[in-house]
Amino acid sequence: MATEQPQLNSEVLFQLLGKAKLSEQEIGRRLEQAVSPDYWRNLNPILSLGTEPKANRTSDIFAQDFNLGNQEKILENYHLKGYFVTQPVFPQSLTDTMQQCIANLHKEGWPRAFAFVYDEFWQLFRIPSLVSLLSTILGPDYYQTNGVWCNYVQAKTGSTGWEPHFDKYNESNKVTIWIPLTDATLDNGCMYVIPQHIFPDEIAQKFQSGSKMDCTELKLLLQSCRALPAPAGSILAWNYSTMHWGSRSDRPTHPRISVAAAFSSQCLAQGQYDKPFLKAYPDLPTFSQRLYAIGNSIHAYCGWEPLMLRYLEFATTLINYDS
């Protein structure tokens, strides 16, 4: 997950967007709803929130493990290229339910990141096969950072995901896990990467520093790009030093919806929004930890998604809320 974001002038963007910040009254109303587990349970009753699974709840799905594919091959690709892509892991019934949850949140005016109040959006990243894989990559005591997000690329020509970036250059001991809930295709903005083993360090450093590149270097980057179309329910991962981006849509048939979380091999504070904050497994975070993570993530990623700027004061209130 990106820890460095574009520099934005919030006030100018508020004017350009033609949207006012949330009023104090609206912040108070939203906060009252946000801190109520019952509010979230009523909004998406088929999902779980810190309760024992009930009949027909999707959390029952996680009673089983899921097959990622050939783990040896996955690790080989990751260590060589800096990323991996699995086969479809999660069933369509689950990804469809999660899509509906995200639609319900948006309908009620919530940032889509509030999907992470629900157990299932954390359980995705805690299946035993993925824990085993990440333990091999990061060590058995790896942590989850407080960066969580839901990406939504509209189904219209020209829509894009985030621009080319490193999550944090020269930090390969951290991993972003990215899970598409709809098919990520060449037409709706699938992820692209540049494999690390064919990305010269001197060019990567130029990109990171914002230095000018010559035509030869630009051609090399273009020829090194790899598209990563991925079916819904598959798992993509890259380390923080792997350049990646969401491509531009071209007459897509459906939006590109995905969720992401980040993991670290060390419990070290690396920045306000990216420090490890809880054990990655087996326990799910508490309700208050989830709200804290969502609030922090709105702050962390508003530079990538300017529409989140109007929620900044609310996010601050959420972070500072003492239950």
Q: How confident is the model at residue 273 (pLDDT cuts 50, 70, 90)?
A: low
Q: What tens digit of pLDDT does each residue of 218-233 get?
A: 999 999 999 999 999 9
- Would 240 be classed as within a structural domain? yes
Q: How far apart are CA 179 and CA 240, in angstroms?
A: 16
Count of domains forming the chain: 1
- Would 313 be classed as within a structural domain? no
Token digits of residue 291: 């709200």
Q: Which domain holds residue 148?
A: 23-48+71-307
Given a cut of 80, whether residue 146 has pLDDT beyond it is yes
- Would 130 be classed as within a structural domain? yes
Q: How confident is the model at residue 50 (pLDDT cuts 50, 70, 90)?
A: confident
- Would 238 be classed as within a structural domain? yes
- Would 282 be classed as within a structural domain? yes
Q: How far apart are CA 92 and CA 71, in angstroms?
A: 22
Given a cut of 60, whether residue 248 has pLDDT beyond it is yes
- Would 65 be classed as within a structural domain? no
| Three-state secondary structure call for residue 116 | helix
Q: How confident is the model at residue 18 (pLDDT cuts 50, 70, 90)?
A: very low
CA-to-CA separations, 222 to 173, 204, 249, in angstroms, rounded? 26, 13, 18
Given a cut of 90, whether residue 128 has pLDDT beyond it is yes
- Would 56 be classed as within a structural domain? no
Cβ-contact 254, 200 below 8 angstroms: no
- Would 158 be classed as within a structural domain? yes
Query: What share of the chain in percent tops pLDDT 70?
Result: 88
Output the pLDDT for position 9. 58
Which residue type, as a one-letter code, is found at position 303? G
| Phi and psi, residue 48, nearest 5° | -105, 150
Tell me, what CATH number does 159's domain have? Answer: 2.60.120.620
Average pLDDT over residues 62-72: 89
At what angle are helices 201-209 and 215-224 packed, to 10 degrees? 110
Helix (H) or strand (E) holding 201: helix 201-209
Output the pLDDT for position 56. 52
In this structure, the number of other CB atoms found within 10 A of the CB of residue 287 comes to 16
In this structure, the number of other CB atoms found within 10 A of the CB of residue 208 comes to 16
